[in-house]
Chain A
Amino acid sequence: MKPQPIVLKVLNVASVLLFLAALGMVFLYAPLEATMNYVQKIFYFHIANAWVGMLGFIAAAVAGVVYLIKHDQKWDIIELAAVEISLVFFLIAIAAGSIWARPSWGAYWTWEPRLTTAAILEMVYIAYLLLRQGIDDPDRRARFSAVYTLVGAISVPITFMSIRLFRTIHPVVIGTNSAASQGSFDMTSKMLTTMFFALFTFSVIFVNLFWHRIRLGQLAQQVEQLKLEELQ
Chain B
Amino acid sequence: MIEYATSIKYMLAGYAVILTVLALYIVSLFIRWRNLKRDFQTLKEIQKKD
Chain A residues engaging chain B, CB cutoff 8 angstroms = 1, 34-39, 41-42, 45-46, 49, 85, 88, 91-92, 95-96, 99-100, 102-104, 209, 212-213, 215-216, 219-220, 222-223, 226-227, 229-230
Tell me if B37 and A103 are in contact (CB < 8 A). Answer: no
Residue pairs across A and B with Cβ atoms less than 8 A apart, 13 shown, are: A34-B1, A38-B10, A45-B18, A88-B25, A96-B18, A99-B10, A99-B13, A209-B25, A222-B40, A223-B43, A226-B40, A227-B43, A230-B43
Q: Mark B21-33, 1 if CB is under 8 A from A, else 0.
A: 1100110010011
3 shortest interchain CB distances as A-B pairs: A42-B14, A226-B43, A38-B7
Within 8 A of A (CB), among B1-50: 1-2, 4, 6-8, 10-11, 13-15, 17-18, 21-22, 25-26, 29, 32-33, 36-37, 39-40, 43-44, 46-47
Which of A41, A46, A213 has the most CB atoms of chain B within a 10 A radius of its CB? A41
- Residues of B at under 8 Å CB distance from A? 1-2, 4, 6-8, 10-11, 13-15, 17-18, 21-22, 25-26, 29, 32-33, 36-37, 39-40, 43-44, 46-47
In whole angstroms, how far apart are the Cα atoms of A30 and B7 in the complex?
Answer: 16
Decide: B39 and A223 in contact? CB cutoff 8 A.
yes
- In-complex Cβ contact of A223 among B4, B6, B25, B40 (8 A): B40
Select from chain B the residue with minimum beta-carbon distance to A101: B10
Q: Given A95-B21, A103-B6, check contact A42 B11 (CB 8 Å).
A: yes
Q: How far is the CA of A154 from the CA of B11 in the complex (A)?
A: 32
- CB–CB B1/A37 < 8 A: yes
Q: In the complex, what residue of chain A is closest to B36 when comparing beta carbons?
A: A219
Chain B residue at minimum C-beta to C-beta distance from A34: B1
Q: Contact between B14 and A96 (Cβ–Cβ < 8 Å)? A: yes
Partner of A88, one of B2, B4, B22, B47: B22
- In the complex, what distance in Å separates the CA atom of A214 from the CA atom of B12? 33
Contact B44 A42 (CB under 8 A): no
Q: In the complex the two chains form, is A39's CB within 8 Å of B37's CB?
A: no
* Closest chain B CB from A8 CB (angstroms): 13
Q: Give the distance in Å from the alpha carbon of A103 to the alpha carbon of B13 in the complex.
A: 12
Closest to A219 in B: B36
Q: A96-B17, A222-B40, A227-B43 are in contact. Are A209 and B2 (CB under 8 A)?
A: no
